[in-house]
Amino acid sequence: MGAGRLYLAVAAGGFRRYATYRLATAAGVFTNTVFGVILVFTYLALWEERPGLGGYDQAQAVTYVWLGQCLFATLAIQGGGAEKELMERIRTGEIAVDLYRPADLQLWWLAGDLGRAAFQLLGRGVVPFLFGALFFPMALPADVLPWAAFTVALLLAGVVSFAIRYLVALSVFWLMDGTGVNQALMIAGIFFSGMVLPLNAFPGAFGEVVRVLPWAAQLQMPADVLMGETSVPGALAFQAGWAVVLLAAGRALQSAATRRVVVQGG
C-alpha cells in the first residue's frame, strides 16, 4: 500500500508539473487542431481516390486522424516525455541520486510519465478530438463497452510507449549523448506508429511487418479497438505482450547499466 501511494504521488506530480505550462498547452491544442484539419482534407482526398483503403471508410479515416492528434502528445509519439529528462540525468550523473531513492527506478519513471500522459490527454488531446467530432463525420461507437475497451487499450499504449522510450534513454549510459537516438526515436515513432498513414494501408510483407512491431500498439490498436475493426481480446493481448517484453528488456538493460555506475566527474 505504501509503495502504491508513492507511485500514485509520483504520477500526480507528473500531472501537476505539466499543468503549469498553460501557454504551451494552449499552443499545442491550436497546433494539433490545425494539423488535424489539414490531415483530414488530405485523407478525404486520398480515400476519394482509394475508397476502402486499409479497410476504412472515409468516416473511419477521419476518426483515425483526430485520434492521432489526440494521442500525439499523450503518448509522446515523437519523444519528449520522461525519457528526455532521464537522458539528461544520466549524462550529468544525477541518476546516482535516483538510484539511492527507496523506490524502483523503472516504476518511478513510469509513474511520472503516466501522470504526464494523463495531463496531455485531458489538456491537449480532448479539445482537438471534440473539434473533429463537431465539424467532421466520425465513426464513433454509441455503446459504452467499446469506449471501456478503448480506455484499457489507451492505458496499455501508454505503457508500451514509455517502455520503448525508457530503453532508448538507457542507451545514454553507454553513448553519453542522446541526440542521435532521440532523432531515431522521433522518426521511428512517427512512421511506425501510423501517424503518417494507418498501418492497415501498408501493402504486402512490409505491411505485415509494421503491424506486429511494438509501435503498432500505440495508435493503430487503440484506433481499431474504438472503431470495432479488430478483436478486442486479441488487440489487448498484443499490447500487453509488448508491454511485458519491453519492460522486461528495460529492466535487464537497467541492471546491466547500473551494475557499475560511474558518476560524471569521478
For residues 139-150, give the mean pLDDT.
95
Predicted pLDDT of residue 148: 97
Average pLDDT, the chain: 92
pLDDT at 96: 87
Distance, in Å, from the CA atom of 92 to the CA atom of 65, rounded to the nearest integer, reads 39
Query: What pLDDT is attached to residue 266?
Result: 43
Whole-angstrom distance, CA of residue 196 vs CA of residue 186:
12
Closest C-alpha to 161, from 196, 212, 110: 110
Burial class for 19, CB neighbours closer than 10 Å (0-12, 13-18, 19+): middle
pLDDT bucket at 170, cuts 50 / 70 / 90: very high
Angle between helices 144-170 and 220-227 (to 10 degrees): 180
Residue 166's identity, in one-letter code, is Y
> Lowest mean pLDDT: which of 80-84, 189-193, 200-204?
80-84
DSSP string, 167-216: HHHHTHHHHS--HHHHHHHHHHHHHHTTSSS-GGG--HHHHHHHTTSGGG
Residue 248's pLDDT is 97
Beta strands in the chain (DSSP E): none
Q: Are 115 and 11 in contact (CB under 8 A)?
A: yes
Cα 44 from Cα 212, distance rounded (Å)? 27
Across 105-121, average pLDDT:
95
Whether the per-residue pLDDT at 2 is higher than 90: the answer is: no
Nearest partner of 169 among 56, 254, 235, 99, judged by Cα? 254
C-alpha cell at 177: 549523448
Question: What mean pLDDT do residues 49-60 have?
Answer: 94
What per-residue confidence (pLDDT) applies to 36? Answer: 96
